[in-house]
A = this chain, B = another copy of it.
């Protein structure tokens, strides 16, 4: 039994940025998040490809996650090479050059009480 500290490729089949919010702060604005944990001793370069129902994929979106750090990235904030439209179904694949762990969380405040979902992403290498 050997220990790794994650995987290099992850998939998330769900993706949707709620197009409205009742929250007025950044924290309570509806958002869709990728949580990435890099528990290795090496900085990670992460590439995210976003898939849609009826158009070619977008990306790659590129981020760095320092060694022994976590970054919780909001799809809402993605803008290079292009923003992710709100109110639109998508999915994503995350590739990293070192093993990481990826979890997917949504906070939805379209109605006047927030809702949450979260699930571990699905590891594609192993």
Chain B residues, CB < 8 A from A56: 68
Give the number of chain A interface residues (Cβ < 8 Å).
67
Chain B residues, CB < 8 A from A62: none
Instruction: Establish whether residues B39 and A51, one from each chain, have CB atoms under 8 Å apart when the complex forms.
Output: yes
A6-B124 contact given A11-B37, A14-B118, A101-B91, CB 8 Å threshold: yes
Interface of A is mostly: strand
Instruction: Establish whether residues A115 and B113, one from each chain, have CB atoms under 8 Å apart when the complex forms.
Output: yes
**Total identical chains:** 4
Q: Considering the chains assembled together, what is the distance between the CA atoms of A126 and B101 in angstroms?
A: 15
Asked whether A119 is an interface residue with its Cβ less than 8 Å from the other chain, the reply is yes
Nearest B residue to A123 via CB reads B122
Instruction: Establish whether residues A111 and B113, one from each chain, have CB atoms under 8 Å apart when the complex forms.
Output: yes
Instruction: Establish whether residues A113 and B116, one from each chain, have CB atoms under 8 Å apart when the complex forms.
Output: no
Instruction: Establish whether residues B103 and A12, one from each chain, have CB atoms under 8 Å apart when the complex forms.
Output: yes
Asked whether A90 is an interface residue with its Cβ less than 8 Å from the other chain, the reply is yes
Chain B residues, CB < 8 A from A8: 1, 3
Instruction: Establish whether residues A112 and B115, one from each chain, have CB atoms under 8 Å apart when the complex forms.
Output: no
Kindly list the 5 A-B residue pairs having the minimum CB-CB distance in the complex, ordered from nearest.
A113-B113, A70-B91, A13-B103, A37-B91, A117-B118
